[in-house]
Amino acid sequence: MSIYDVKIESWDGSDKDFLNKYKGKVTLFINVTGDCGNAPQYGIIESIYRKYKDKGFEVVAIPTNEYCGSGITYGEFECGIKDAAHAKNYANEVYDVTYDFTELVVSNPGKPIDPEMAKELYGGRISEFPRQLEDGEEPHEIFKELSKQSQKTTKVGVHQFGNFEKYLIDKNGILRKKYHNGTLLDFAYPDHVDAPDVEYDRLCNDIEELLSVWHIRKSMSMRI
Residue ranges of the chain whose pLDDT lies below 50: 69-77, 111-113, 118, 121-129, 215-224
Provide the pLDDT for residue 151.
79
Provide the pLDDT for residue 168.
95
Angstrom distance (rounded) from CA 143 to CA 150: 10
What is the number of alpha carbons within 13 Å of residue 99 lying toward its C-beta? 27
CB 72 within 8 A of CB 33: no
CB 167 within 8 A of CB 210: no
Burial class (CB in 10 A: 0-12, 13-18, 19+), 223: exposed
Vertex 141 angle, CA 174 and 74, to 5°: 95
Provide the pLDDT for residue 26.
97
Q: Which residues span the domain enclosing 26?
A: 3-223
Compute the mean pLDDT over every residue in the chain, rounded to the nearest whole number. 77
Give Rg (Cα) of the chain: 18
Provide the pLDDT for residue 127.
45
**Which is nearest to 89 in space by CA: 34, 24, 15?**
34
Backbone angles phi, psi at 58, to 5 degrees: -135, 165
Q: Find how far residue 35's CA is from the centre of its chain.
A: 14
Q: Spell out a b/e string for 169-195, using b for 16 or more CB atoms within 10 Å of the CB, else e.
A: bbbebebbbbbebbbbbbbbeeeeeee
Helices then strands, each counted (H, E), the chain: 6, 7
**Domain CATH for 56:** 3.40.30.10
In the chain, the number of structural domains is 1
